[in-house]
Amino acid sequence: MGLKGFHAYLRQEGATTTTNIPNHLRQQHVGILYVDFCCDFFWLLQEFAVDFLTVTGDRQRRQQQQDQHTEVARRFADRTMNEHNAFAADSEVPKICLVFDGDRLSAKRATHSAR
């Protein structure tokens, strides 16, 4: 559901340094940090996958692309785990939970309508 005032906090100058975010989380008594996995996915898409999205009829090229897609998936898993583990190691947040999109939450109906 989110932390009250967290979006406003993130818009402040210097809010996203690795020292400030854990302080804010500690002040709000956060025990679990939920991370939107789709944000990581789109970062990967922009960062790694764009070069691999072309398709040709060449059999050898298809095998190369399959190998590249496997490499992209491996990098994605590595990056996601390393990024979140590094953040958790630098803060007092005991758990990080990756969240995958599903149906919209009824409790956020007003927020979705306003958007």
CB within 8 Å of 41: residues ≥ 6 apart = 76
Per-residue pLDDT reduced to its tens digit, 13-49:
666 555 566 676 777 777 776 777 776 676 666 666 5
CA-CA distances (angstroms) from residue 69 to 42, 50, 59, 107?
A: 15, 11, 15, 37
Please report, rounded to a whole number, the percentage of residues in the chain having pLDDT higher than 70.
46
* pLDDT for the residue numbered 1: 46
CB within 8 Å of 40: residues ≥ 6 apart = 76, 79, 80, 83, 98
Q: What's the pTM value of the predicted model, to 2 decimals?
A: 0.40
- Enter the tokens of residue 9: 């906090």
Per-residue pLDDT reduced to its tens digit, 58-114:
667 777 777 877 887 788 778 777 777 776 676 666 577 777 666 766 777 787 788
Beta strands (DSSP E) in 1-115 are 32-36, 95-99
